[in-house]
Structure 1
């Protein structure tokens, strides 16, 4: 029975074609399973045919023996019966051999399917990087030049300084951002809900050494046992660092973005940090409660934050449109939830408002950062 050959499996030695071949390989498996089941049914049918033929030949042989014992006069007929029996025996033997060959083929097929499953497992690992912003493309705090961070302070999204602070510079070449850590260490805290219990491997490119949790610093390819549901630190010391990735298993495989989704980094980062500056056309809308105080609601577009955020940094001056013109105002937090916040805008200058007037605010200058980082 003909089987449709599987396409070329993905290979980490060919990262450029890895995703395309992985998709093609996965898409071919349903046909593969259907044909394998059909092969099994064909083998079973041939086994039944062989058994039936063997029974028939045995009966024919018995008949031939009876004819020879009771009718010497029918020697010619007996010999014919004997020849017929031999033919059936040969057919039965051929069927038996065919069944045995089919069983061997089925065994080979099972081994091939097992190997294919192993390849697919490796392919899924490539897509399971749990580090967010591992190419350092998200930089809401707009750090630049030589970045000097106090202990626990954040630079690029999701990356904060270790206990001794951190100093680094960064550059981009060919779409890859490389950090050069010259002092201290850089940490990403991974939420426990992103992790499954088991061995994980941490890989990266560069001279920096890294570690998982409380483990020891080492070169790329560090492995450790991870407890699912528990927050986990990944930390890098001095040296160059690019394309870090942490995923289940122990195989050292090529870098991939967060959970294998290109463009998913920005969405994931919004869970922890939001920056509002003059490029945002809209801050919020609300009312002037007094001539000097407006309260506006800021919805969190693009999903909820990890927790109710606080203001991490604030150099922003609000611009508030009112019916009689516009005014500038300072911005502070009034209250916050995971899906939005209310901001207090205190009048500085410009047109005056009357209590009850509508207020539509934007950031006229500066930067406002809301943080729910770990």
Structure 2
């Protein structure tokens, strides 16, 4: 038996085929809905349009009602009671081949692939979209039937070709999510005290690079040390951030010494949200 035949026989015995063995098949990020950096509730919740239920998965234009149940292995089932749940797929990064793509999932939700100005109907089971131009942005969207009962959704996968394969599991899903959103606890920023009540140009690199220039929000005040005294960064005054780094001016809760470094202790508290979600 040839080496190639041996590999094919092994894949067949495992219930796989050649396509299933190829990595980077799934062009959706967080397809098992496990990553939840924003800490959205598992309980039934009404989400306004654009609100995120899980990383990369947000409520559609009319909002949605959704709940989540996570299994011991991290796979999460999303229950959709009303509205739609969608993911914007970056064509320049995830749909470079163009051509035919297949959307598959588990559960009784209905789904569709939206490209450009098309408005395809929702379908049950797998959905095949043909002739997606290379590099074109797309939207994957799931829903329940109008007036019908809540539906379940899990293990969503968008892949090249017309035939779905087994769900692809990756160890870098959190990194992929970090291109679009990052909640940074205890960020190790460094800057300078430029006036007694302001820490200027407080920065740190971002890796991986964000999808676009991010919007940075202060979720929890940050402790700042100038070598002698500690203050708290309470407000972002100016945001100079790029897709590759955070750089911020902060208002301080108490006076520090001008000209001294503004050191943000890693491990001493504070939270920043860095958001660079793409919208199509």
- Structure 2: segments with no counterpart, 5+ residues: 145-150
- Which residue of the partner structure matches residue 325 of structure 1? 229
Verify the 8 A CA contact 1:331 1:343 in the aligned structure 2: no
- Which residue of the partner structure matches residue 135 of structure 1? 32
Q: Name the SS for the 2:54 alignment partner.
A: coil
Q: TM-score w.r.t. structure 1 length?
A: 0.64
- Which residue of the partner structure matches residue 147 of structure 2? none
- Which residue of the partner structure matches residue 266 of structure 1? 174
Cα distance between partner residues in 1 of 2:4 and 2:207: 44
Q: In the TM superposition, what is the alpha-carbon distance from 1:263 to its structure 2 partner?
A: 1.1
User: Which of residues 254, 259, 262 is equivalent to 1:359?
Assistant: 262
- Structure 1: segments with no counterpart, 5+ residues: 19-118
* Larger relative strand fraction: 2
- Which residue of the partner structure matches residue 229 of structure 1? 135
2:145 matched to 1:246?
no
2:91 matched to 1:185?
no
Verify the 8 A CA contact 2:34 2:70 in the aligned structure 1: no
Cα distance between partner residues in 1 of 2:2 and 2:98: 39
- Which residue of the partner structure matches residue 277 of structure 2? 373
Change in 2 beyond 3 A, CA 1:161/1:314: farther
Cα distance between partner residues in 2 of 1:307 and 1:152: 17
Q: Name the SS for the 1:6 alignment partner.
A: helix
User: Which of residues 43, 67, 89 is equivalent to 1:169?
Assistant: 67
- Which residue of the partner structure matches residue 276 of structure 1? 184
Cα distance between partner residues in 2 of 1:191 and 1:5: 35
Q: Which one has a bigger Cα radius of gyration?
A: 1
Cα distance between partner residues in 1 of 2:245 and 2:28: 25
Cα distance between partner residues in 1 of 2:249 and 2:198: 7
Cα distance between partner residues in 2 of 1:300 and 1:208: 40
User: Which of residues 187, 196, 200 is equivalent to 1:291?
Assistant: 196
Number of matched pairs: 259
Verify the 8 A CA contact 2:190 2:263 in the aligned structure 1: yes
Q: In the TM superposition, what is the alpha-carbon distance from 1:123 to its structure 2 partner?
A: 3.7
Verify the 8 A CA contact 1:138 1:156 in the aligned structure 2: yes
Q: In the TM superposition, what is the alpha-carbon distance from 1:171 to its structure 2 partner?
A: 1.1
User: Which of residues 197, 219, 242 is equivalent to 1:315?
Assistant: 219
Q: In the TM superposition, what is the alpha-carbon distance from 1:5 to its structure 2 partner?
A: 7.8
* Larger relative helix fraction: 1
CA deviation string 1:317-372 (max 9, x = no partner): 111112222111213252111110212221114xx212111111258666421111
- RMSD of equivalent CA atoms: 2.2
- Which residue of the partner structure matches residue 10 of structure 1? 11
Bigger relative contact order, structure 1 or 2 (CA pairs below 8 A, ≥6 apart): 2
Q: In the TM superposition, what is the alpha-carbon distance from 1:146 to its structure 2 partner?
A: 3.1
